[in-house]
Structure 1
Amino acid sequence: MNLLIERGLMFGNLLRVDSPAWVALYNRALEKLTGKTTALTEFHIDLTGLSPEIGDELGDLDYLNPPNGNRQFILLTTEQKTAPMLAADLSVYRAILRRFIADNESQLFSLTARDAVVGEIDDEVWQVAQPADLLDIRKVRISADTTGNHVAEADRLTAMIDRFRSQPDAWWDDVLIAEMIEQAKKSGDVTRNPVRLAHTSFDVPDFWTPAFGGVYVIRSAREPAVIFTDPAQEVPLSGVLTMSAHDRNEIAAWLARNGLAEPIAAAAAADTAAILRQKIDFILVDSATRAGIDPGDGTRADLRRAAARLAPAAMPAELRGLAAILRYVETGGDWPVIDSGDPAYFYVLRATALPARDVVNQLLTELAPHDVRALFTLNKTLFYKLFQGWDAAKQKYVADQLAREYQIDKQGTREALFGPEPGMAEPGAPERNAPAAPAAPWGPARVTLTERAAPAAGPWGAAR
């Protein structure tokens, strides 16, 4: 993993904490949350204040996530909103916490100027003991305050002021006036500088969780579904369609019926040929290194020479379909006939611009794991897991390619692959008149529930 760290592909963009004042504030917050402190004088923190160095020191890499408790966070500055989130029980936590900071930036800026802000993310479910409990997670609430309880003290003074203004005889209540004066010494003038954190509740219709081997919960679609990464963990759940990642035909039919995915070639402004060539390059490197063939420097010329040395049996199954699509895009040849039974099927899809877009894109990486650029961009948990098992030559090629092409222009790469980022508006359920499944190149979906076990008609032709 040192290869990824050296190239800024792991633990990148963390916030550096190296001033004695910040270290002291962090220790005060850490002690309040966990009862522990750090002896380090310099470390890095993520969006939630989690530090890999402190995790190594404490022997707990997820020390802000107590067992059977809510995920906690420490804010030293509002600049943490640009940092990544190293560990998340739900995939939406980063977006929710970023929005919480953005919506309360002026208040949090004022609070962090004098103290650290600590809080927790509450999914309002006491315990996730079985997959059915995941369906109870519908809303997330964030509670936060400084280590000195400035928000609570301000709320207490605000309540006193409201009481003073509303009660007719409050002017003669010397006890209340004395209490307000003493409280103002602790919280300051809340009439001129109000301390009130707004928008602390967020709806969660769609998410991924690492629990039970990895589970995708997608409820914003017209046909809600729960998809298990591990087929052994799959259990039927009431009110939703249940599938596993091995049910490729069923997943393809469900995506088509609900209009959740589109072919890359149908996306406006997407350089389809360049994207397809990149996918083919990564697949060839994987095949060459597994066959013991040196891919050289990973240039296209080196990869073509390596591919020529591959035995027919070692040629990746995805390559034939991707090459056919590339020929069609570049030369307008015969229309490729590729359905969900073809290994290349999910490599040419991306999620449509619906509320479940990010979760669907992450799901597609599970079904097309050799597309390591998409895997790194959308599913770092799986990327890091697979990276450790790769051949050294593939590790070097992938790290070099990602550092050269993705790190230079992260935003541009994401938009080219998956469309523009959604705004900071809270994701919600689809409207009652949600858009129908896109016609796209393959026409409207015609797969019925009774037909979902058969290969679904795909973006490149009808099912065979």
Structure 2
Amino acid sequence: MKRLIKSGLMFGNLIHVASPALVERYNRALKHLTGKQTKLTDFYIDISGYSPEIGHELDDHLYLNHMGVNRQFILLTTAQKDAPLLNAKFSTSRGILRQFIEKNEAALFSLTTRDAVAGELVNSVYDMPDPARLMDIRKITIEADTTNGAIAKAEELDTKVDRFMTEDDAWFDDVLIAEMIGLAEQTGDVLRHPVMLKHMEFEQQNFWTEHFGGIYVFQKQELPGAITCLPRHEVQHIPIDYVIDLSERNRLANFLELNGLVEPIVKARGIDAAAVLKQKMDFILVDALADEGINLRRRAPRDMRRLAREHADRLPDEFHALAALVNWAENKGRWPRITSEDPAYFYTLRAANHADADLVNMLLSQLSPKDFRQLFICHKQLFYALYDGWSDTKKDYVVEYLKTEYQVDKVGAREALFGHEPVMKEDPVKTGPGGPWVAHRGTTDEYEDMIDRVGPWGPVRRG
């Protein structure tokens, strides 16, 4: 992991807490939330205020996330909005924290100049004894205040100001006026420096959780389902229409297609599909040759092509299937028959344009793990877990590539891979022979008619 840390690919963008004043504020908030304190004089924190160093010191890396259910947070600066979330138990947590900070940035900036803001992502679930409890998580609300209760005092002052302005005799109420002055001394000028935080609620119906070996939950779809990383029979009953595990490739492909969650890369607008597929081929090539004693660092595209020719017999089916797809896209070659059982199948997909695209791309990265770039972007926890088992040759190549190719233009890389252009009605998307999917049976016309009715793998029936 040292390669990743030195290259800024792990623990990057964490906030350094080094000044005595900030350490003291952090300790006040930590004691307020957990009853614990740190003896460290400097440490790094993520968007939630979690510190790996403090987790090690306390021998509890869930010290701000008891039982991995209701994440607590400590904000020392609004700059935390750009930090990662470490040890995430739910895919939605970082997005919720970032939105909370951005929507309340002015108030939080004012509050954190004097104190730490401590809070919690609250839902109706307090533990996670079985997967069925996941279905009870529907809404997340945020509760937050400074350690000295500045927000509560500001709300109390606001209530008293309303009384003062609306009640007839309030002008002569010396006790009320004295209370207002006392609160104002503690809160400051709430008109010039707002300390009120917006009440925010977030739906949590489609999400990934690390609990129970990893489960992707899709409750908002027309055909709701859960996708388990463990074999389905090892996971207790989940009260949802469809439960599918990662090994059930045909059922999984069917579920994603019928819910409109994915699209073929070759059908996507606004991206260079052939270039994306070629890069995936390079990553598969590296995975296949990493243990062959070949120096893979700083390889130009022509060098990668030469390696592929020289070692074609050692390359896996995924490589050859993607090569056939590239040949179709660039040279009008024969349309390859890539079914959902083909190991290359999920490499050919990306999330369609919808609100849960990040979640679907996260799932697809787990289904196509040799594409280390997508894995790093979409599912860092799994990337780090798999990285630990790679050969040194592959680790060197991956770190060098991510550092020199991805890190220099993260936004551009993400746009090239996952960006969407609006589809114009007068400019229909063109596809190749048989459409963008592989016909399992029948003629091209019959296949396209069948897709319109039930999707490329036939209907999913309830019950």
Q: Would you say same fold, with TM above 0.5?
A: yes
Q: How does 1:36-435 map to 2 (within 5 A)?
A: 36-67=36-67, 70-191=70-191, 193-231=193-231, 232-290=233-291, 292-297=292-297, 299=299, 300-304=301-305, 306-308=307-309, 310=311, 312=313, 314-419=314-419
* CA 1:102–1:334: 2 relative to 1, 3 Å: same
Confirm or deny: 8 A CA contact 2:48 2:72 kept in the other structure: yes
Match in the other structure for 1:425: none
The number of equivalent residue pairs is 437
Confirm or deny: 8 A CA contact 2:269 2:421 kept in the other structure: no
CA distance, structure 2, for counterparts of residue 117 and residue 246 of structure 1: 44
Structure 1 residue 315, shift from structure 2 partner = 2.6
Structure 1 residue 223, shift from structure 2 partner = 1.4
One-letter code of the match for 1:256?
A: E
Confirm or deny: 8 A CA contact 1:220 1:356 kept in the other structure: no
CA distance, structure 2, for counterparts of residue 150 and residue 381 of structure 1: 36
CA distance, structure 2, for counterparts of residue 329 and residue 41 of structure 1: 58
Structure 1 residue 307, shift from structure 2 partner = 4.1
CA distance, structure 2, for counterparts of residue 177 and residue 311 of structure 1: 84
Q: Secondary structure at the match of 1:337?
A: coil
Deviations 1:122-169 (A, max 9, x none): 122122211111111111111111111100111111122223334333
Confirm or deny: 8 A CA contact 1:213 1:233 kept in the other structure: no
Structure 1 residue 385, shift from structure 2 partner = 0.6
CA distance, structure 2, for counterparts of residue 69 and residue 17 of structure 1: 26
One-letter code of the match for 1:272?
A: A
* CA 1:446–1:248: 2 relative to 1, 3 Å: farther
Choose from 413, 436, 439 the match for 1:441.
436
* CA 1:301–1:356: 2 relative to 1, 3 Å: same
Confirm or deny: 8 A CA contact 2:213 2:229 kept in the other structure: yes
Task: Give me the TM-score of the superposition, normalised by structure 2.
Answer: 0.88
Deviations 1:13-56 (A, max 9, x none): 11222222222222222222233333333322111111222222
CA distance, structure 2, for counterparts of residue 51 and residue 421 of structure 1: 39
Q: Secondary structure at the match of 1:79?
A: helix
Greater shift in the superposed pair: 148-157 or 51-60 = 51-60
Over the aligned positions, Cα root-mean-square deviation in angstroms equals: 2.6
CA distance, structure 2, for counterparts of residue 331 and residue 43 of structure 1: 55
Q: Secondary structure at the match of 2:115?
A: coil
Match in the other structure for 1:460: none
CA distance, structure 2, for counterparts of residue 448 and residue 417 of structure 1: 24
Greater shift in the superposed pair: 57-66 or 371-380 = 57-66
CA distance, structure 2, for counterparts of residue 280 and residue 73 of structure 1: 41
Greater shift in the superposed pair: 378-387 or 263-272 = 263-272
Match in the other structure for 2:427: none
Structure 1 residue 311, shift from structure 2 partner = 7.7
CA distance, structure 2, for counterparts of residue 102 and residue 362 of structure 1: 24
CA distance, structure 2, for counterparts of residue 190 and residue 277 of structure 1: 57
Confirm or deny: 8 A CA contact 2:68 2:89 kept in the other structure: no
Confirm or deny: 8 A CA contact 2:23 2:41 kept in the other structure: yes
Gaps of 5+ in 2: 423-429, 438-447
One-letter code of the match for 2:385?
A: K
Structure 1 residue 397, shift from structure 2 partner = 0.9
CA distance, structure 2, for counterparts of residue 127 and residue 296 of structure 1: 47
One-letter code of the match for 2:204?
A: V
Q: Secondary structure at the match of 1:407?
A: helix
CA distance, structure 1, for counterparts of residue 56 and residue 126 of structure 2: 28
Confirm or deny: 8 A CA contact 1:158 1:190 kept in the other structure: no
